[in-house]
Amino acid sequence: MSDKKLIYEVNNLSMDNDALMVNETIFHNANGYIGIRSNFEEGYPDGYTTIRGAYINGFYDITEMKQAEKLYGLTEEKQTMLNVADTQTIQLFLDGEKFSLFDGKALSYSRFVDMEKGITGRKAVWRSQSGREVEVLIKRMASFHQLSLFTIEYAVTAINFDGSLTFVSTHTGEVMNYSNPDDPRVAGESSDYLIPEEAILEEGVSYLTSGTLRSGLSVCTGVKNILSRDGSMHTELKGHKAVCTMNTFIARGETAVVTKYTVFSDSIRQQDCKSFAVKEMQKALSLPLKEFYTRQKAYLAHFWENCYLEIDGDDALSLAVRFNMYQLIQSVGKDEYGNIAAKGLSGEGYEGHYFWDTEMYIHPFFILTMPEIAKSLIAYRYRILDYARENAKILGHKKGALYPWRTIMGKECSGYYPSGSAAYHINGDIAYSVIIYFLATKDLDFIAEKGGEIIFETARLWMDAGNFYKGQFRINEVTGPDEYTCMVNNNYYTNVSAQFNLRWAVKFYRMLAEENKLETVLDKTGLSEEEIKQFEQAAENMYLPYDDTLRINPQDDSFLEKEIWDIKNTPKENFPLLLHYHPLYLYRHQVCKQADTVLAHFIFEDAQSLETIRNSFEYYEKITTHDSSLSTCIFSIAASKLGYKEKAYGYFGDSAKLDLFNTHRNTKDGIHTANMGGNYMAIVYGFAGLRIKEKGLYLAPYLPRPWNGYRFKINYENSRIKVEVVKNQCRITLLSGSGKQIFLYGKEYELRKNIIVTL
């Protein structure tokens, strides 16, 4: 993969405040453990708004969430991801004149993200008010080799003068989170979550340790500045802040470089986070920065090889897809203590909470490309299983586990339960991810160790949440994926996902028994043979709503009784609807925020006939606003299955460019990680028709009209497979591993070397 295909660069960027905040997100650095927004090192002028943040995956404090009425079981506190420190600030002075793109004149200016090297940067040629000209090149990296490490390499070249340079680098522990009381997608108010505990200087390194106000956690950040040439350096502590001042003399044509090392450490993962930060700084300083760059590139070479995907025929769209894939590896937690937040580690949207987005939109990408990461994500859900059991009890269930709608450490963070806690389908989503991981890897040991317990406890929950009525198993008072329709009976998506969960609970029980791996799970759960029979009976008799007149699956029992929302005549400025209409008004109409039944027909396509799937797609397409970033990618996949190729491509394009073009107008709060995973699925599951089923691997590729071809690689069981689609031909190649039986356009083939078929 060539360099140009992995570099996103923008020249002559706007200095408008809104554009600056979006670019803080687009050019952020993250590695799954830490995330740092791409703020200007020198800061912005007074009056500008910024989200100047650095985050640790899974690190949080607890804050009150007051309920208007104190009813039993309603969530009254939540976790929120914290901005842990500001280690970005570096101010530059040329003979006393401060470098700022808002003063003097930028003769050229650009920003870039290099997805091959794993760095972001800013480049500027700047003339001060007195006429001094410098070239400034700033490179940033969140290391994949050493997850605690973030670096800034700040290089200044004098163009037309000889003089003094002064760098003032600060390390600040007293920081706050961003808030916006008018937007329900971010925190409504800012608080001082961190309490300064210790500030020390050791061997030129500043270490700032803070404790959270309520969660009992600690965080330590260490900063070391290195000047590349002779000069003076002085660091002093000013409260919970370290200020390092560096002076040097530079002649025209010469370059001075400041390298700023930051390490992060937290008490979730380390018993003594300060001692660990010291060790991590020693580790960071033991290698030259060039070696870290080399290892960063090597890590990403492995990543791009694993998730190889090429599009021939649309370079701009191809770059957008790669940008989305790159954000996934930046966002995903690399241990069981973290997951993937709705905004990754790029911003504070949704307060860093983990949703069902991970399982349904991001797991498929990692299952096919890096299954060990998918396994780690499931391990996180296993780690919080006891909280899910506790949550089930709070909501009145005697048995089973109910995963929280939104969380960080395992407890429910949803204050508005109709569109939060009532979304029981999250249990089905998590169960689905475990099942698909098994189907792709055949890792039964993991099912015995962790996955099976998740499957059995979520299945138990359905038995208590639902009941038999006139011979059918029904699930009442839940909310499906569509957040514009809440608290309904028999949401189709929820019921069909529960059916899938229950059926696989029975299958896993029998598989584990046959392989003599059941005993450990039984010891943990006390699961009985009688319960397995009940699971089987409920799955067999699950009620799935169907309308004989329209020949569709209604979204729920009452959905078709409601008035249809007039989307065409709704003013454009009134979208997204959730910001302009009362929830009850939305709930009384047939209007969908996102794919719901259409999503079910993609995920659980074998539950209905193709005719029903087609009729449902055409019905729901007319009443879906796509106000959710989770929507267009799913409509693209469904349109591909149904042969609506132009529609599929249109929905795909909307999904691919969502963040780069800020189409949902909230990229400033962070990237949309689920959409990025969905965008990958729109190619592999949509255009290529890939499905992983119990019988094997299924493919039904076609070539979108604007493209000349596309190709990708996947892992399936113990094998590596390449799929290539060009104008008239599809080639499936076994790159490594054992031969496989695969289904191509419904016909079974034996893949030993390669299979070539006409499209």
Name every residue whose Cβ is closer than 8 Å to that of residue 357 and which is 6 or more positions away in sequence: 340, 342, 630, 673, 674, 677
Nearest partner of 595 among 561, 570, 567, 626, judged by Cα: 626
Active-site option among 24, 453, 483, 724 = 483
Measured CA to CA, the distance from residue 222 to residue 451 in angstroms comes to 38
Look-up of token digits 């019921």? 495
In the chain the first and final C-alpha atoms are separated, in Å, by 26
Strands 105-114, 7-11: pairing is antiparallel
Rounded to 5 degrees, what are φ and ψ at 597?
Answer: -65, -35
- Of 649, 648, 639, 751, the C-alpha closest to 696 is 751
**311 CB-near residues (< 8 Å, 6+ apart):** 317, 318, 321, 683, 707, 710
Residue 146: count of CB within 10 angstroms of its CB: 19
What kind and span of H or E run contains 729?
Answer: strand 729-736
User: Are the CB atoms for 320 and 150 separated by under 8 Å?
Assistant: no
C-beta of residue 166 within 8 angstroms of C-beta of residue 92:
yes
> Residue 258: in which H helix or E strand, if any?
strand 255-266
What's the token pair of residue 170?
């600060």
User: How far is Cα of residue 294 from the mean position of the Cα atoms in its chain?
Assistant: 26
Partners of 138 in beta bridges: 122, 154
> What six digits make up the tokens of 144?
């994949």
Q: At what angle do helices 371-383 and 385-394 cross, to 10 degrees?
A: 50
Task: Please state the separation of Cα 270 from the chain's center in Å.
Answer: 24
- Active-site residue flag, 561: no
Q: How many CB atoms lie within 10 A of CB 459?
A: 31
What does 115-130 look like in DSSP terms, one character per residue? TTTTEEEEEEEEE-TT
Nearest to 656 by CA among 288, 389, 201, 309: 309
Q: Nearest Cα to 162, choosing from 90, 253, 224? A: 253
Q: How far apart are CA 580 and CA 563, in angstroms?
A: 18
Give whole-number Cα distances, 190 to 193, 351, 416, in Å. 9, 11, 20
Strands 218-227 and 205-212: antiparallel
- Angstrom distance (rounded) from CA 237 to CA 201: 8
Q: Which of 627, 628, 640, 676 is nearest to 656 (CA)?
A: 676
- Structure tokens belonging to residue 734: 């076994």
Strands in 296-356 per DSSP E: 309-312
Enumerate the active-site residues: 483
